[in-house]
Chains A and B, each alone.
Chain A
Amino acid sequence: MIAIAGSLLLVLLLAMGLPVAFAMAVAGAAGLWFVGDLGIMIGIVKSTTISSVASYELITIPMFILMAEFIIISKIADELFDATAVWVGRTPGGLGVATVLAGAFFGAISGSSTASAATLSSTSIPAMMRQGYSLRFAGGIVATTGTLAMLIPPSIALILYGLIAEVSIGRLLIAGIVPGLLVALVLTLVIFVMSLLRPSQVPPGQAYSIKRKLQMLKVTGPMLALFAMVTGVLYLGVATPTEASALGAFGAFVLSTLYRRLTVAGLFQAISNAARISCMIGLIIIGAHIFGYFFTLTQATQTITDWIIGLNAMPYMVLFILLIIYLILGCFLDQVAILILTVPVVLPIIVGIGFDPVWFGVVVVMTAEIGMITPPVGMNVFVVSRYTICPVHEIFAGVLPFLVAVLSMIVVFAVWPEIIMWVPNQMAN
């Protein structure tokens, strides 16, 4: 009963628009005071504040964000689209396909959905428009492609899931690769189909010489190398994810210096941005721990888990309902908040009915990510709409075919978990 009251308070505070971290801390502290007493509340607030943050594993997040910031400074990402466009050449819907591939690459180094959508908006949409794509379709491609960043390593969302669920971050990051590539593949298929159905809206690409293609390889080469280094190090278990993230950031730092694009002002901006995003995530973790203590004290987690397992429902039925809940949550809440709030409660259920936590991490991150491209608060769509000065509802309409494709991929991954689990199962432990 108290757990429900506390949750309602949390929902109210969130709806008021209070920062998620504050809302969780307030609801959690109020609950702790109510369940225990003032002393317990103060004790828990005091101890969680520093213990939530003082963690060697946690630096994976700022380091990968720093890596993305340096890549953005080095402007390699801007050239990435041109490079893939040349390589894809005259395939039907060539530029659209190039956008998806560039997005997959960019996602690989940035781990940020909105950063990916923003970069692609400024480079690929104007190019697609010049070739006669409809703005709606071009915007739809870019907004959806941004979401690939959450699957292809390094994905901040998967790292966060790993930290909360206490699942190997290395395995999670590696597990994201195959589904990420498959989703990219399906997105390009949608573009092919659209180009056959509506050739007027999706014109064919342009052919380029081999020489030009090799030239362009020079652009993408260093970035591919960086990506290969980070992923390789993780896959082989040569270094911990934390070390891999620092190496990645260092590599990106070196690249931006080599390209002579790193200024002192740019450096300060990059490190401050990384500090801001990391502390935003860290503050939510603190808030979630305070709320989590309260929730555990009321025994709510245990009760819910026992109840659902006791239902003896078909595991897939439970999974289906959970994923629907995630889809709805994704429409209102930020992914970071969704993961931190729900995973501690949901994971015991999932493991209890016999699913793999690594597999669930990938599926849940994908599902929560859908909210980035659906109304009412799809951030990627807003970013694209702001860049293109195109009405938001137009872009949402453009996203629709891709949305259907991504949703069906979630179903595929849920039905055949081996697709996700095969690669991480090959990893050296």
Chain B
Amino acid sequence: MAPLPTRLVRFIDKLENVAILAAGLCLLVMMFVVTLDVAMRYGFNAPLGWVYDLVGKYLIVAAFFLAVSETLRRGGHVAVDLFRNMMKPRVRRAVDILGYAATAPILLVIVVTGIETVKRAYVRDEVITGVVAWPTWPYYIFVPIGIGLLLLRVILHIVDLVLGGEGYVPSVSGDHTEPEGPASVDSSGDGV
């Protein structure tokens, strides 16, 4: 069915699987580190100064950008489905191609400027203005990585739709869940 080479599709899927797991692990580390910080402050009166920057810059940025692409693959980004459900399949396909094609250049802008930012920070040895002078590029770098992956997914989706396939993003957002358990419903795009 899919006119695109399945090896390429699977490769991107794999990259996303690794990325989402890394994103999740960042959240887990965040949880432990902040808890430890509070414990140190109240228990030993010795707060850890570096937690604020580690969590508020490196971990949150990594967790966020590494997750965006896999979330799109699962239809986890909320959208208004009401009107698309009324559209004929052909109209829906056209509308999808149009919408995602308009999104791709913006993602491209983010990726290109993101790479430039990383390069500049690396060359100039930029450091954060925090307790510890960590370099900035290791958190800037998650922008081009994450959004780059997202861009790949979007391009894959557009090309497949144009070639007559079903695309690589679920047609209806937040409605991909099966009634198998509460945990799965929670993962639906709705979120709140």
Contact = CB atoms under 8 A, between A and B. Distances in A.
Interface of A: 13-23, 25-26, 29, 41-42, 45-46, 49-50, 53-56, 58-59, 62-63, 65-66, 68-69, 72-73, 77, 110-115, 118-119, 122, 150, 156-157, 160, 239, 242-243, 246-247, 249-250, 253, 267-284, 332-337, 376-377, 379, 382-383, 386-387
A190 to B, nearest CB: 24
Given A16-B98, A17-B81, A377-B82, A246 B190 contact: no
B95 A16 contact: yes
Contacts of B64: 53, 278-279, 282
Nearest to A56: B56
Contacts of A336: 78, 191-192
Contact of B28 (A19, A271, A377): A271
B79 interface: yes
Contact of B182 (A22, A115, A337): A115
Contacts, number: 248
A73 B187 CA distance: 13
B190 A334 contact: yes
Interface in B18-51: 20-21, 23-28, 30-32, 34-35, 37-38
Nearest to B174: A379
Given A113-B192, A273-B183, A20 B84 contact: no
Contact of B84 (A16, A63, A239): A16
Contact of A77 (B55, B80, B179, B182): B182
B191 A58 contact: no
B82 to A, nearest CB: 6
Nearest to B84: A17
Instruction: Tell me what chain A mostly uses at the interface: helix, strand, loop, or mixed.
Output: helix
B134 interface: no
Contact of B70 (A15, A25, A276, A387): A276
B141 to A, nearest CB: 11
A345 B186 CA distance: 30
Counting chain A CB atoms within 10 Å of each CB, the highest count among B37, B55, B57, B179 belongs to: B179
B167 interface: no
A58 B64 CA distance: 11
A243 B78 contact: no
Contact of B187 (A41, A55, A277, A335): A277
Given A15-B83, A157-B192, A246-B34, 12 more contacts: A16-B99, A23-B79, A25-B103, A26-B103, A26-B106, A29-B106, A72-B186, A247-B35, A271-B23, A274-B27, A377-B81, A379-B190
Contacts of B82: 332, 376-377
B68 A283 contact: yes
A72 B56 contact: no
B158 interface: no
A250 B82 CA distance: 38
Q: Which 7 A-B pairs have the closest CB atoms?
A: A271-B24, A56-B56, A246-B34, A17-B84, A18-B99, A19-B77, A279-B67
A354 to B, nearest CB: 29
Interface of B: 20-21, 23-28, 30-32, 34-35, 37-38, 52, 55-57, 59-61, 63-68, 70-72, 74, 76-84, 92, 95-96, 98-100, 102-103, 106, 109-110, 113-114, 117, 139-140, 143, 147, 173-175, 179, 181-183, 185-192
A336 B191 CA distance: 9
Given A72-B182, A278-B64, A337 B78 contact: yes
A42 B109 CA distance: 7
Contacts of B143: 49-50
B113 A54 contact: no
A280 B25 contact: no
A167 B182 CA distance: 32
A55 B182 CA distance: 30
Contacts of B61: 50, 53-54
Nearest to A59: B60
19 contacts: A16-B98, A17-B95, A22-B99, A42-B113, A46-B113, A49-B147, A50-B117, A59-B55, A63-B30, A114-B192, A118-B182, A122-B181, A122-B182, A246-B34, A246-B38, A247-B34, A336-B191, A376-B82, A377-B82
A18 B84 CA distance: 9
Nearest to A242: B34
B72 A19 contact: yes
Nearest to B17: A272
B192 to A, nearest CB: 5
B68 A18 contact: no
Contacts of B173: 17, 19
Contact of A271 (B25, B77, B147, B174): B25
A26 B102 contact: yes
B57 A54 contact: yes
B134 to A, nearest CB: 13
Contact of A332 (B80, B117, B179): B80
A406 B73 CA distance: 36
